[in-house]
Structure formats: C-alpha cells, structure tokens
Copies of this chain bind each other. A is one copy, B any other.
C-alpha cells in the first residue's frame, strides 16, 4: 500500500491536532477497539481457558513476530513478541555475553536510550566486577571496538536527534573484532525498512508502541539471527521458552530457535491491539513509506529554517543518516513545546534543549506539516524566547 491518504482513514486522530509524536506513542488504529473487544468478549468471555488453543493465543507471539519481522528484514521464524523492550534488551545482552565467555566488555554509546544502559548496568552489576559497560560518544563507536568487546549494544536511531547509525558497517566492524551485536530498533521499526538479515545483525530488539502503533505499553519483540538460534541461551528462561512447557519438567531445556526467547504467559489483550495495527502494516510498502517520510521531514526542516531563525537543527541534515524524526534545539525548548502543544501541535521535549518531531506518513499529510511549521513560526515570533520573563508571562496567559 502506497496511498497514504487512504491509510490515514484507518487511524483515529483527534480534531484540531497535528500529531508529530508518533515516534513516542503511535495513534489508535480505528479497528483496534473492535479487535480487542472481540478478544475480550468472544475469546476470553466465551472460551475461557480454551482460548489458549481454540483462539490461537499460544501462537500469537510468533505469528505476530513474523509480521513485525517483515518490516525489519528478519528471516521468517526468528522474531517473537513479549515483555517490554527493557526486558528484551536484558535478554539479548545476557544471551550475547554468554556466547563470548572470555570477554567482559559491553560497548555502547551516549546516544543510546538511558534505559538500555540501565539494563546493561543491572546485568553488569550482577555478573561481577570484571564486567564493564563502556559508553562512548556515537561518533567514537567504530574506533572503540576492540578485542575485549563481547557485545556492541546500540540503538540504531538516536531518540533525541534522529541520527542513524550505519548498522551494516558497525555490525561488520564488531564481527571483525570477534564481537556480537544487539541492535535496539525502537525508533527504526515502522520508521523505515530495516534489513537485519542483510546487515548481519546478531540480536535485535524493539517496541511496538511507537511507529508500529500497538498502543500504550504494547509488547516488545526480539530477533535472534538464524545462525545463533540454537546456540543462544535465553537467560530469562521461562516456561513458555521451554522445549515442552506442558510436560512441567523440573529442569529447563531451551525450546527450538526463537521459541526459547519466550518467557512467561503472553499478554493476549495487548497482542490483540497490536494485531489490529499489523493488519495495516502488512500492506505497507516500506520503500514508499520511507520516501514519504523523507519528503515530510525535509519539508519540515525547510519550513522551520525559513521561518524560525533561532531554532537550530539537531538532526543530521542528510536523510540517509536520519531516522523518521527531526529535532531542533533551543534553550527554551521546554516552554516552546508547551506552547506548541497548547496550540494543537503535539511533539515532545527531551532534556536539556531538544524539540522533537516525528514524521509518520501513514497518517500525516504534507498540509499538516505546513500547518505545524506556521504555528511554530507564530509561536517563535510571538515572544522574545531569549528573555525568560517573556516566556514566563506567555505561559500564564
């Protein structure tokens, strides 16, 4: 599907809002309420425990995993849904570390989500003092990969600036040094066509509540490359990752391939909401999506730079090194974003000075981008944002 006026009609978008925050929480697919209602009323309500077999609940994590897998270039049968992104980061990282038992370093960068770093810190703290999380600046990553690095853990697209790492090149560099990679696709999946298989990625993880429109707190996913599928140990070894969950053996034996990365009981109701969104994504041509996303992003950059001279582009200017979001810096970024939201343009603010805007062709039109630019220009012109007393007054009125 490449007709993005048609996909827009599949989403609920409130009147009077220009929504540039789909990179934080995607909007509601119109079919989701009915889809979830059916799972609740017809499946849970009428089938009760039989839903696990008769409604296919047990297979949802792998069935939906494959549908996400198409968007991220995964081989079929190598993605599974479940838990949260932070949990999946931990699981991927612990699995990868165990595959490099004579190395002790996790390499990451300061452009990663803090949560990914926190999870790594928790893991390192548990594994003992000789393990180390080494965090460098994004541009220093390639140079910091040495033969002490067990795992290179990166988020492909920087959550603040939209700067995009070269997944293929960095994966090759990691492999050349004997390290494995864990890629966080939180700001990639649904933003553009990811090519995990082509990049040779080892592990990947991501969430589905941003570009994938799965709803607040929607389940995460994990990918393990086919060549590691039978070697990786899940670390978080729960019963649904067991070879025979219903044998209730006392000893853990990993299930086949990606199945072993399942942990506990799948979140059926949340997966139903995600399914409604994947019904749309199944038909999206990712190359066309990317083209439209770049066009929207560049239209925004050009518009803002023409009308708001005090905003500084924080994102890469080159589309090839950018995800599907555009950020500008301003010392009064927080107050400016509050003013924008009050005027119906929803983006978000990231400390200390980032105004962040997501571009999502499935439900965002060029005219809305123009509308957002003119509202932003009006706000920037309406107060002297470099003089704090003006800013404060403008928030009171």
Contacts and interface: CB of A to CB of B under 8 A. Distances in A.
What is the size category of the interface that chain A forms with chain B?
35 or more
Nearest to A15: B46
A299 interface: no
Contacts of A220: 264
A237 B48 CA distance: 35
Copies in the complex: 2
Given A49-B21, A248-B114, A40 B273 contact: yes
A264 B115 CA distance: 8
A335 to B, nearest CB: 16
Contact of A216 (B85, B242, B269): B269
B269 A273 contact: yes
Contacts of A14: 45-46, 48
Contacts of A127: 126-127
Contacts of A209: 265
Interface in A74-128: 83-87, 90, 94, 98, 110, 113-115, 117-119, 121-122, 125-128
Interface stretch (A62-70, A304-312, A343-351): A343-351
Contacts of A44: 25, 27-28, 215-216
A28 B49 contact: no
A250 B40 CA distance: 40
A295 interface: no
A378 interface: no
A247 interface: yes
Contacts of A40: 28, 32-33, 36, 215, 273
Interface string A220-242: 10000000000001111111011
Given A86-B238, A115-B239, A268 B216 contact: yes
Contact of A237 (B121, B248, B341, B346): B121
Interface of A: 12, 14, 17, 19, 21, 24-25, 27-28, 32-33, 36-37, 40-41, 43-46, 48-52, 57, 83-87, 90, 94, 98, 110, 113-115, 117-119, 121-122, 125-128, 135, 207, 209, 215-220, 233-239, 241-242, 246-252, 263-271, 273, 341, 346, 348, 350-351
